[in-house]
């Protein structure tokens, strides 16, 4: 199964396809065995009392790798923020990821997500290489963020 970010360009526009890994419950030993220690983009969700998945975190990892970052962010014993610790202790957490060896491409992907999911917050900046950025998500569960 493909778990990577691909890109096509036309004129001055970028067209990304993010191929997500399967959505998996965050369990420390499973993360260690199945998540690569490579760069990429990931999402963390928690399942609320109504069994709905709620996006709680989306980010990229360049140094350190996905494995250690996801492992740390999904373990209530390692989390120091009281709000996140409470969520991790109370609810099941799920993750998925996509690999990328381009920091600039990951900047563009996160910029797209931030513009669509959190418009007006100015949290992410794009790589400044393209006039327009487009994105399509592909996931085994047909579960898309946008």
pLDDT of residue 116: 85
Comparing CA positions, the residue from 43, 12, 1, 3 lying closest to residue 134 is 12
Contacting residues for 95 by C-beta, under 8 A, at least 6 apart: 23, 24, 26, 31, 35, 42, 43, 44, 45, 70, 74
- Residue 44 pLDDT > 90, yes or no? yes
pLDDT over 90 percentage in the chain: 75
Q: Model confidence over 83-140: pLDDT tens digits?
A: 889 999 999 999 999 999 999 999 999 999 988 887 766 678 899 999 999 999 999 9
- pTM (predicted TM-score): 0.91
| Residue 110 CA neighbour count, 13 Å, CB half | 26
Alpha carbon distances (Å) from 134 to 4, 35, 77, 120, 124 = 16, 27, 38, 18, 15
Residue 28: phi, psi to the nearest 5? -50, -45
């Amino acid at each position: 199964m493909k778990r990577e970010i691909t890109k096509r360009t036309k004129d001055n526009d970028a067209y990304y396809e993010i191929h997500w890994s399967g959505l998996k419950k965050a369990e420390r030993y499973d993360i260690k065995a199945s998540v690569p220690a490579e760069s990429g983009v990931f999402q963390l969700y928690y399942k609320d009392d109504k069994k709905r998945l709620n996006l709680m975190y989306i980010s990229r990892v360049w140094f350190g790798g996905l494995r250690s970052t996801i492992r740390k962010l999904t373990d209530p014993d390692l989390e120091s923020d009281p709000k996140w610790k409470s969520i991790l202790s109370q609810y099941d957490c799920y993750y998925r990821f996509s690999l990328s060896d381009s920091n600039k491409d990951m900047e563009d992907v996160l910029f797209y997500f931030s513009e669509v999911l959190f418009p007006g917050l100015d949290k992410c900046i794009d790589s400044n290489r393209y006039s327009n950025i487009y994105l399509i998500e592909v996931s085994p569960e047909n579960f898309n963020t946008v």
